[in-house]
Chains A and B, each alone.
Chain A
Amino acid sequence: MELILIFISAALVNNFVLAYFLGICPFVGVSNKTENALNMGLATTFVMTLTAAATWPIYYYILVPFNVPFLQYVAFIIIIAALVQFVEMYIRKASPSLYRALGIFLPLITTNCAVLGLALFMVLREYGFIESIIFGFATGVGFTLAIVMMSGIREELEFADIPKPFQGVSITLIIAGMMALAFMGFAGLIRG
Chain B
Amino acid sequence: MANSLAREFTKGLWQEIPPFRLVLGLCPTLAVTNSAINGLAMGMATIFVLFFSNVLVSFIRRTISSQVRIPAYVVIIATLVTVADMFLAAVFPQISKALGPYIPLIVVNCIILGRAEAFAQKNSVLPTAADTLGIGTGFILSLTLMGGIREVLGFGSIFGVKLLGEWFEPWIIMILPAGAFLVFGGLVALVNYISSRKAAKAAEAAQAAHGM
Contacts and interface: CB of A to CB of B under 8 A. Distances in A.
In the complex they form, do A and B come into direct contact, defined as C-beta atoms under 8 angstroms apart? yes
B79 interface: yes
Given A28-B26, A71-B82, A180-B176, A164 B192 contact: yes
Given A28-B23, A177-B182, A165 B79 contact: no
B188 interface: yes
B153 to A, nearest CB: 14
Nearest to B20: A169
A111 B82 contact: no
A110 B117 CA distance: 14
Interface stretch (A42-50, A58-66, A115-123): A115-123
Instruction: Provide the main secondary structure of the chain B interface.
Output: helix
Interface residues of A, number: 45
Contacts of B196: 164-165
Given A25-B24, A177-B182, A70 B110 contact: no
Contacts of B70: 81, 110
A174 B74 contact: no
Given A121-B101, A170-B188, A113 B27 contact: yes
Interface stretch (A13-21, A30-38, A93-101, A132-140): A13-21
A78 B71 CA distance: 7
Given A111-B110, A117-B105, A77 B185 contact: no
B: contact size bracket: 35 or more
Nearest to B28: A21
B158 interface: no
Interface in B78-110: 78-79, 81-82, 85-86, 101, 104-105, 107-110
Given A19-B177, A164-B192, A173-B185, A25 B105 contact: no
A187 to B, nearest CB: 10
Interface in A99-149: 110-113, 115-117, 120-121, 124
Contacts of B180: 21, 177
A11 to B, nearest CB: 16
A166 interface: yes
Interface string A70-84: 110110011001100
Interface in A150-192: 164-174, 176-178, 180-181, 184
Nearest to A120: B101
